[in-house]
Chain A
Amino acid sequence: DQQVKQNSPSLSVQEGRISILNCDYTNSMFDYFLWYKKYPAEGPTFLISISSIKDKNEDGRFTVFLNKSAKHLSLHIVPSQPGDSAVYFCAASVSMTTDSWGKLQFGAGTQVVVTP
């Protein structure tokens, strides 16, 4: 049961342009969302997060948008740089039920390639 879905397995973008990564979820109890960047054989690196009480959060080149009614979030990277080439995962968690604490549900990831 895939509760977090990243339907685009890959994305190619030119350096300097905007990268937009999308993520959909099915569990309406998710109330905290995170984006991670991952290189092969390494652990995920935290990028940015957003609580369900907000619809936008910004940190430098990274902005996350949350549309609760559509159960959709997106990550915008502006401008894209060659070092951004990696796999990006969105993750979601539930804070209201104790049996969900400490657990992140991950999407399958989107491979981003930034070309010069």
Chain B
Amino acid sequence: KAGVTQTPRYLIKTRGQQVTLSCSPISGHRSVSWYQQTPGQGLQFLFEYFSETQRNKGNFPGRFSGRQFSNSRSEMNVSTLELGDSALYLCASSQMGVATEAFFGQGTRLTVV
């Protein structure tokens, strides 16, 4: 059974640009959550999608957005990139998004210069 796939693995962007990251969950999983990991803040929850609907959102500015498609694949977009957005972005998939194991992808390392 294939795991969670995130693309691309690495990205370098310039301040002010926008970026789109992709996540393909484990087959049969309907919940996709996104997290940001930085050395100073640890793993921070961005948002969660279930059946194409955003059910939950963390404390991040509106520049961070996402969506989920009918096949459960999810994309995350960051507009007007800032240097502080440099981080490892992780997505996690689970069957229902509650009281169950969540499995993570390898992450996308975003560097903003």
Contact = CB atoms under 8 A, between A and B. Distances in A.
- A and B associate in one complex: yes
Interface of A: 31-32, 34, 36, 41-46, 49, 51, 89, 91, 93, 95, 98-109
Does more than half of chain B's interface fall in helix, strand or loop, or is it mixed?
strand
Contacts of A93: 98-99
Nearest to A102: B48
Interface of B: 4, 6, 31, 33, 35, 42-43, 45, 48-50, 55-56, 58, 88, 90, 92, 94, 97-107, 109
Nearest to A2: B42
16 contacts: A32-B98, A32-B100, A34-B101, A36-B104, A42-B106, A43-B107, A93-B99, A100-B98, A101-B55, A102-B55, A102-B56, A102-B97, A103-B56, A104-B35, A104-B92, A106-B43
A51 B98 CA distance: 11
B42 A109 contact: yes
Contacts of A91: 43
Nearest to B96: A101
Contacts of A108: 42
A92 B76 CA distance: 23
Contacts of A99: 56
A101 B97 CA distance: 6
Contacts of B50: 101-102
Given A32-B99, A102-B50, A89 B43 contact: yes
